[in-house]
């Protein structure tokens, strides 16, 4: 999908949203749940499998024999052990779980990387990104679709410079990932807040007042009566969002709203997996300890299915 197609799609989505004024727009960036399954190891390890592998990858292990699952798990352990010291720590396991849960982000970056690394040097410069994304509209000061591409380009350039840690206007893949998905990086959070405030702050006074806050989520569209969730959001703004009670949200209050400090599900799961698998209780795992508890980390073909085959052969 090129930029023009994307913006047309965005326009249609906006129109659709406006046609349903009771629907709520959510700007809050929450850490996703590791699994939609219940975490009850007494019943099954399905939650742990989803957390460790990601839900889609976990399904592929369910088709493997126990031997195949152990072999593939051993290869994964080698990737998790970042410092190659032969042990997997809680931090290494937490990083892996976060990677597994956000694999879609890296897949998205890979797709976009191919379209923007025009000279195939393993880097994406701002010039490459600008030409690939805006090249065909830069010479058109008044595009037919009414979008202000130059304003969008200025905003993109500012974000690109923020992602580019060494300031050379050339992004590594990690910096390009931070550019495309800034909410995933601590050093990019200020730009997420700034862009959000610019979107909502209609009078450009540097703050978000109550009406701007509500107006971003809800369009009256001629309806006099607000739905209950809008009334709740008004109360939320007054009681919780506007911490200093001055009638508006500043940068820090906006940051607390859209980037809350969530419970770290990945760390909790990493500690759980280490606790359950750490046979010598030294606080870290060897490959052998992990593979010995393979059924906790990954699935395989059901044991009772294997037993049924044995019984069938005996019969």
pLDDT per residue over 257-270, tens digit each?
A: 999 987 889 999 99
Return the pLDDT at 5.
44
* Residue 55, domain member (yes or no): yes
User: What's the CA gap between 119 and 128, in Å, rounded?
Assistant: 8
Strands 170-171 and 124-125, bridge-based pairing: antiparallel
> For residues 220 and 50, which has the higher predicted lDDT (pLDDT)?
50
3-state secondary structure at position 234: helix
* Residue 1, domain member (yes or no): no
Q: N- to C-terminal Cα distance for the chain?
A: 58
pLDDT class of 13 with cuts at 50, 70, 90: very low
Structural domains in the chain (count):
1
- Give the angle 160-121-165 at the CA atoms, nearest 5°: 30
* Mean pLDDT computed over 158-169: 97
Return the pLDDT at 230.
92
> For residues 191 and 261, which has the higher predicted lDDT (pLDDT)?
191
* Mean pLDDT computed over 196-200: 96
* Mean pLDDT computed over 33-46: 91
Return the pLDDT at 12.
36
pLDDT class of 22 with cuts at 50, 70, 90: very low
Return the pLDDT at 20.
41
Return the pLDDT at 309.
35
158: closest CA among 191, 207, 134?
A: 191
* Residue 33, domain member (yes or no): no
In the predicted model, is pLDDT for residue 232 greater than 80?
Answer: yes
* Residue 60, domain member (yes or no): yes
* Residue 20, domain member (yes or no): no
> For residues 87 and 26, which has the higher predicted lDDT (pLDDT)?
87
* Residues 286-313: tens digit of each pLDDT: 999 999 999 999 988 643 333 333 333 4
* Residue 4, domain member (yes or no): no
* Residue 45, domain member (yes or no): yes
3-state DSSP: the chain helix, strand, coil percent, rounded to 5? 60, 5, 35
Domain span at residue 291 reads 39-207+250-298
User: What's the CA gap between 242 and 261, in Å, rounded?
Assistant: 17
> For residues 162 and 4, which has the higher predicted lDDT (pLDDT)?
162
CB proximity list for 132: less than 8 A, separation 6 or greater: 115, 116, 118
Alpha-carbon separation of residue 243 from 62, 232, 247 (angstroms): 49, 17, 9
CB proximity list for 91: less than 8 A, separation 6 or greater: 270
* Residue 314, domain member (yes or no): no
Mean pLDDT of the chain: 85
| Counts of helices then strands in the chain (DSSP H, E) | 17, 4
Return the pLDDT at 3.
46
Structure tokens at 173: 């893949």
């Amino acid at each position: 999908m090129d930029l023009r197609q994307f913006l047309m799609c965005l326009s249609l989505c906006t129109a659709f949203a406006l046609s349903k004024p009771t629907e709520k727009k959510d700007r809050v960036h929450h850490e996703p749940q590791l699994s939609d399954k219940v975490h009850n190891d007494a019943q099954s390890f399905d939650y742990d499998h989803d957390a460790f592998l990601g839900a889609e990858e976990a399904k592929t292990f369910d088709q493997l024999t126990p031997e195949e699952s152990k072999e593939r798990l051993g290869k994964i352990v080698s990737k998790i052990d970042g410092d190659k010291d032969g042990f997997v720590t809680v931090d290494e396991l937490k990083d892996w779980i976060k990677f597994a849960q956000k694999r879609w982000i890296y897949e998205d970056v890979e797709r976009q990387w191919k379209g923007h690394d025009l000279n195939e040097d393993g880097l994406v410069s701002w010039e490459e990104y600008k030409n690939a994304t805006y090249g065909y509209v830069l010479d058109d000061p008044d595009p037919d679709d009414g979008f202000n591409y130059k304003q969008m380009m200025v905003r993109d350039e500012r974000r690109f410079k923020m992602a580019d840690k060494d300031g050379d206007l050339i992004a590594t893949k990690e910096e390009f990932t931070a550019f495309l998905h800034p909410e995933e990086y601590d050093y990019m959070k200020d730009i997420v807040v700034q862009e959000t405030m610019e979107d909502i702050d209609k009078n450009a006074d540097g703050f978000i007042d109550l009406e701007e806050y509500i107006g971003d989520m809800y369009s009256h569209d001629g309806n006099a009566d607000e739905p209950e969730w809008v009334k709740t959001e008004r109360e939320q703004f007054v009681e919780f969002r506007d911490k200093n009670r001055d009638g508006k949200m500043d940068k820090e209050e906006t940051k607390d709203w859209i980037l809350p400090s969530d419970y770290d599900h990945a760390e909790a799961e990493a500690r759980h997996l280490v606790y359950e698998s750490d046979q010598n209780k030294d606080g870290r795992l060897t490959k052998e300890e992990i593979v010995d508890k393979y059924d906790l980390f990954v699935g395989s073909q059901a044991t009772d299915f294997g037993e049924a085959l044995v019984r069938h052969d005996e019969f």
